[in-house]
């Protein structure tokens, strides 16, 4: 039994041990649906999140005091315990984080409260105490998306120094140690998300500036033919989102508009080429991260209100 589940059952066993004359009350532990887990130690938004070797890494972000964080928190889903990871070499927010080839990549992002875009790429190998630098992005930007196909990392879209939503797409091969330009994103955007399944990179949502410019577009990049395809749009236009591959689908989570944040959990099925509205998560938010470990989907951190707000919420969808 997982320790986090045992802690929910232990109080019942303790009552029984006291020899109470009446039977102890039953404690119902959900076997499916969303549960709240141990919260992020430092609540923050615009974080980068990825799973690696059974752990979930939450990287950088913004605090409620408008401080930019270099903090890295590492979550063990088995024990429901957080620990401190090696801090980023510099504080960053809107950084894209992905795992590839047994390493964690922190790609681009914004420096300072002025939202200065950076081209830096930092790489962490589990068990090491420091991040090392890799070749920087060809174009500095934040609020981009990153995902991996095998050992190769893809950097997609984002917001450049002139606040332009860009079409840039590059891939990084660690064996070559350099970034290579790819066919550009058909729809320029930032605050977007990307996930890879079966050699296809699915790029969803985002915006082109203000919160009023949210997009519902879904575009797919075939990493073998190097061609883009436009797919059915998301039911809900939104930016400030996260996505994961879960149960063979692309789940797109959260987001914000001018008036509210979203608890949306919409899933695209590549086989049927249709979207499904799945069970929403408890805490609506944007600027969150998502990861899947051992068949469980986690959504962590973010902002519960549009703009700068923070939460440490850590919620898991049980299969």
Look up the pTM and report it: 0.91
Q: What is the pLDDT of residue 162?
A: 81
List helix spans (H) across the chain: 3-17
The pLDDT of residue 16: 37
Q: 241: domain CATH number?
A: 2.120.10.80
Report the candidate in 45, 86, 50 with the shortest Cα–Cα distance to residue 68: 45
Q: Tokens 């985002």 — which residue? A: 206
Spatial separation of the C-alpha atoms in residues 244 and 128, rounded to whole Å: 26
Alpha carbon distance 20, 111 (integer Å): 60
What is the residue-averaged pLDDT of the chain? Answer: 92
Distance CA 201, CA 205 (A): 13
294 and 192 in a common domain: yes
- Please give the pLDDT value at position 163: 81
> What parts of the chain have a pLDDT lower than 70?
1-32
Domain count, the chain: 2
User: What pLDDT is recorded for position 31?
Assistant: 54
Q: Are 4 and 143 within one domain? A: no
DSSP 211: G
Supply the pLDDT for residue 99.
98
Residue 13 confidence (pLDDT): 37
307, two tokens: 């703009």
Asked whether the beta carbons of 164 and 147 are under 8 A apart, the reply is no
* 24 and 47 belong to one structural domain: no
Residue 164: what pLDDT?
A: 87
Regarding whether 98 and 188 lie in a shared domain, the answer is yes
Q: Name residue, tokens 């962590």.
A: 300
> How confident is the model at residue 11, as a pLDDT?
40
Q: Is the domain of 20 the same as that of 72?
A: no
Residues of the domain holding 22 = 1-30
Instruction: Give the total residue count for the chain.
Output: 319
């Amino acid at each position: 039994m997982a320790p986090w589940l045992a802690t929910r059952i232990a109080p019942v066993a303790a009552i029984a041990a006291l020899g109470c004359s009446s039977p102890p009350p039953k404690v119902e532990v959900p076997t499916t649906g969303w549960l709240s887990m141990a919260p992020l130690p430092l609540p923050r938004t615009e974080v980068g999140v990825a799973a690696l070797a059974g752990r979930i890494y939450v990287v950088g972000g913004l605090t409620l005091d408008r401080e930019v964080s270099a903090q890295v928190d590492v979550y063990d889903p088995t024990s429901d315990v957080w620990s401190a990871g090696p801090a980023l070499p510099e504080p960053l927010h809107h950084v894209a984080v992905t795992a590839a080839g047994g390493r964690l990549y922190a790609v681009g992002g914004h420096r300072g409260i002025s939202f200065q875009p950076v081209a830096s790429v930092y790489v962490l190998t589990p068990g090491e105490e420091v991040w090392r630098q890799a070749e920087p992005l060809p174009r500095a930007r934040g609020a981009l998306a990153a995902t991996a196909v095998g050992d190769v990392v893809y950097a997609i879209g984002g917001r450049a120094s002139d606040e332009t939503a860009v079409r840039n797409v590059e891939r990084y091969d660690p064996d070559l140690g350099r970034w290579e330009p790819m066919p550009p994103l058909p729809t320029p955007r930032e605050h977007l998300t990307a996930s890879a399944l079966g050699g296809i990179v699915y790029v969803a949502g985002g915006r082109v500036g203000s919160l009023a410019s949210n997009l519902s577009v879904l575009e797919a990049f075939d990493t073998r033919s190097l061609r883009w395809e436009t797919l059915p749009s998301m039911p809900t236009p939104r930016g400030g989102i996260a996505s994961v591959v879960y149960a063979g689908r692309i789940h797109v989570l959260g987001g914000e508009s001018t008036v509210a944040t979203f608890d949306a959990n919409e899933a695209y099925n590549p086989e049927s080429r249709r979207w499904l509205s799945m069970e929403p998560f408890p805490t609506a938010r944007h600027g969150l991260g998502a990861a899947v470990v051992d068949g469980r989907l986690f959504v962590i951190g973010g902002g519960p209100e549009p703009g700068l707000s923070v939460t440490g919420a850590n919620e898991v969808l049980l299969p």
